[in-house]
Amino acid sequence: MLRALTTLILCQFVGEVVARALGLPLPGPVLGLLLLLGLLVLRGGPDEAMRSTSTGLLRHLSLLFVPAGVGVVTQLDALAQDWVAVAGAILVSTALGLVVTGVVMQRLSR
Amino acid sequence: MTPGILWVYLESTPLLGLVSTLVAWQAAVACSRALGDRPATNPVLIAIALLAGLLLLTRTPYAAYFQGAQYIHFLLGPATVALAVPMHAALGGIRRSAHAILPAILAGAAVSAASAMLIARALGGSRTVILSLAPKSVTTPIAMGVAEGIGGNASLAAVFVLMTGLVGIALGPPLLRLVRVDDWRARGLAAGTAAHGLATARILLLNETAGAYGGLAIGLNGVITAVIVPPLARWLVG
C-alpha cells in the first residue's frame, strides 16, 4: 500500500514539476494522471497493491471535497449578494452540460 | 489547564481541523443514511454545513481550520492521479469509442462553461463571481487554478464546484432518463464532464463502466477546460 501511495504521489510530483517548468496551463495532478496511465499501459495494468490503494482512495473521494467546501464561510458576502446569478448559472449550465455530453456520446457511439 | 487555555492550545495545532472534519464526515454519513440517502441529504453537503456552522459559531477563522483540514484536502492530488486505474481498466472500450468521447466532452465542457458565464452575467453577477463560475464543472484542484488564472476567486470556485457536483447528482439520473440516455458509458461520461468527481463517485457505486467513463471524463475535461476556459472567458466576459 505504501509503495502504491508513493507511486501516486511521485506521479503528482513529476506532474507539478513538469507543468511549472514548461509553463503548461494544466494542473500537476492531471499530468500525473496521464503519467500513471502511461505507466499502466506499459506494464500491462496495475498490480494488486495499486488496485486496492487507488480503489480505497477513490471510495472516499467525496470526503476530500469537504475542506475546500468549508471555504464557503470566507465567501458568504459574495454569495449573499449574487445568489440568484449563482443558483441560476449552476442549475442551468449543469443541466445543459449533462444533456449535451450524454446525448452526443450516445448518438456518436452507436 | 483552564478550558480557555486548552482551546488556545487546540486552535494552534492542526489536530482540531483534522478531527472536526473526520467526525463531521462520520456524522454526515450516518445522518445521510438515516434520512434515506437522497441527493439533498448528500454527506458532503451535511458535513460542510456542520463545519461551516461550527466555524461561524466559535468564530474560528477558516485559515485556522484549514491548517488541519489541509491534510485531507491534499489527498485530492493523489486521488486525481489514482483515477488512472479505473481509466486504464476501461481503456479497451475507450479506444473503440474515442471518436465519440472527444466530441462529447468537448461539447459538454464548452456548453457548461459558456452557459454558466452568460447566465450569471445576464442575472447581474459580479465579475469575480462570473469568472469563478467558468471552471465549475471540473475537479476542485483544477477549477481553483483555472479560476485564479482568469481573475476569479479560488475559494469561490471550490464552492461552485461543489454546488455543481450536488446539482449533477440530483439532476443527472432523471434528466438523462428524460432525454433517453440509457447507455452507461454515456451516463458516466456526462456525470464526469458536467459534475466531476462528486457525480462520478456516486455513479461508480451504481455501475463500474459508468465510473470508468466518469473518471476518464474528469481527466480529459480537466485538460480541455484548462485550455479552453481562459480564451472563452476573455471572449465572453472581456
Q: B66 Cβ partners below 8 Å, 6+ apart?
A: A67, A70, A71, B17, B73
Residue B200 to residues B109, B120, B205, B210, B212, Cα–Cα distance (Å): 16, 25, 9, 8, 9
Least confident of B37-46, B135-144, B178-187: B37-46
pLDDT for residue B187: 94
pLDDT of residue A65 exceeding 90, the answer is no
Shortest Cα–Cα distance, A21 to chain B (Å): 16
Where does the pLDDT of residue B123 fall: very low under 50, low under 70, confident under 90, or very high at 90 and above?
A: very high
pLDDT of residue A104 exceeding 90, the answer is yes
pLDDT for residue A9: 95
Least confident of B34-43, B108-117, B142-151, B157-166: B34-43
pLDDT of residue A51 exceeding 90, the answer is yes
pLDDT for residue B164: 94
pLDDT of residue B40 exceeding 70, the answer is no
The residue-averaged pLDDT of A77-101 equals: 93
Contact flag A41-B88 (C-beta cutoff 8 Å): yes
| Total-model pTM | 0.80
Contact flag B112-A96 (C-beta cutoff 8 Å): yes
pLDDT for residue B53: 95
d(CA B72, CA B94): 31
| Burial classification of residue A44, based on how many CB atoms lie within 10 Å of its CB (0-12 exposed, 13-18 middle, 19 or more buried) | exposed
pLDDT per residue over B206-238, tens digit each?
A: 888 888 889 889 888 988 898 899 999 989 887
Residue of chain A whose Cα is closest to the Cα of B141: A27
Residue of chain A whose Cα is closest to the Cα of B82: A54
> Chain B window 20-59: which residues touch A at a Cβ cutoff of 8 Å?
21, 24-25, 42-44, 47-48, 51-52, 55-56
Shortest Cα–Cα distance, B3 to chain A (Å): 26
pLDDT for residue B183: 92
Residue among B65, B101, B133 whose CB faces A89 most closely: B133
Shortest Cα–Cα distance, A56 to chain B (Å): 10
pLDDT for residue B92: 78
pLDDT of residue A11 exceeding 90, the answer is yes
- Helices marked H in chain B — which ranges? 3-11, 15-34, 43-57, 62-74, 76-82, 84-89, 91-96, 98-122, 127-133, 140-149, 154-178, 184-204, 208-236
Where does the pLDDT of residue A93 fall: very low under 50, low under 70, confident under 90, or very high at 90 and above?
A: very high
Residue of chain B whose Cα is closest to the Cα of A36: B84
Is residue B143 within 8 Å of B157, Cβ to Cβ? Answer: yes
Reference A30, options A50, A53, A12; nearest CA is A12
Contact flag B189-A54 (C-beta cutoff 8 Å): no
Where does the pLDDT of residue A45 fall: very low under 50, low under 70, confident under 90, or very high at 90 and above?
A: confident
Chain B CB contacts of A88 below 8 Å: 119-120, 123
Chain B CB contacts of A26 below 8 Å: 222-223, 226-227
Shortest Cα–Cα distance, B6 to chain A (Å): 24
Give yes or no for B207 touching A (CB within 8 A). Answer: no
A3-8 contact pairs (CB < 8 A, 24+)? A3/A49, A4/A47, A4/A49, A4/A50, A4/A52, A4/A53, A4/A54, A5/A53, A5/B78, A7/A36, A7/A39, A7/A50, A8/A32, A8/A36, A8/A53, A8/A54, A8/A57, A8/B78, A8/B81, A8/B82
* Average pLDDT over chain B, rounded to an integer: 88
* B75 or B35, higher pLDDT: B75
The residue-averaged pLDDT of A64-86 equals: 89
Reference A36, options A4, A2, A8; nearest CA is A8
The residue-averaged pLDDT of A48-75 equals: 88
pLDDT for residue B154: 83
Shortest Cα–Cα distance, B147 to chain A (Å): 12
d(CA A17, CA A11): 10
> Chain B window 130-149: which residues touch A at a Cβ cutoff of 8 Å?
130, 133, 136-137, 140-142, 144-145, 149
Where does the pLDDT of residue A10 fall: very low under 50, low under 70, confident under 90, or very high at 90 and above?
A: very high
pLDDT for residue B94: 77
pLDDT of residue A59 exceeding 90, the answer is no
* Average pLDDT over chain A, rounded to an integer: 90
Q: What is the largest CA-CA distance in chain B?
A: 67
Where does the pLDDT of residue B190 fall: very low under 50, low under 70, confident under 90, or very high at 90 and above?
A: very high
- Report the interhelical angle of A48-59 vs A2-22 (nearest 10°): 70
Report the phi/psi class of residue B196: left, alpha or beta, with left for phi > 0 and alpha for psi in -120 to 50.
Answer: left
pLDDT per residue over B7-28, tens digit each?
A: 777 667 788 899 999 999 999 9
What ipTM does the predicted assembly reach? 0.88
Give yes or no for B119 touching A (CB within 8 A). Answer: yes
Give yes or no for B103 touching A (CB within 8 A). Answer: yes
pLDDT for residue B1: 59
